Amino acid sequence: MSPPVRAYVGLGANLGDARAGLQAAVRALAALPGTRLVACSSLYRSAPIDATGPDFLNAVVALDTTLAPRELLAALHGIESAHGRERPYRNAPRTLDLDLLMHGDAAQASAEITLPHPRMHERAFVMQPLQELGASVRGVDARALSSQVLERIEPPSWADGA
């Protein structure tokens, strides 16, 4: 078995009881085989970007996992589906969105997976929680981030109910 790798997963939701959905997702992530939940960021509210619908609730979790990137991504998609995620069109409102942001130092691009996540540097709702968790990220688009309104609404203890 491979040694654990630090992975970061972005969580978001803007339909239904978004907070409860994110808490359930944190529980599901912590229960993945070969995976340990290390930390959870504060909970943030942000307006949709390149989309319509209600504001999103967002957070980022740090995991130590022995799952390979594709295995972890497949598990994330399974958790989304279990929580009613539908994909009727690009950037549609959603009950749960889980994005694999980083998987150790993995850098890859294919039709199935791109690591690090290709748009995370342009999203304040990803970069602020990543920074909060102490993740080191290069190539941040500070100008794009400065125009995005991000509201911290709960400290990391929001996930304690998870």
Q: Which residues participate in catalysis according to the annotation?
A: 85, 94, 97, 99
The whole-angstrom separation of Cα 120 and Cα 100 is 10
- Locate all alpha helices (DSSP H) within 12-141, ordered by sequence: 18-30, 69-82, 124-132
Whether the CB-CB separation of 18 and 154 falls below 8 Å is answered with no
- Helix or strand or coil: residue 88? coil
Give me 88's structure tokens: 């009727």
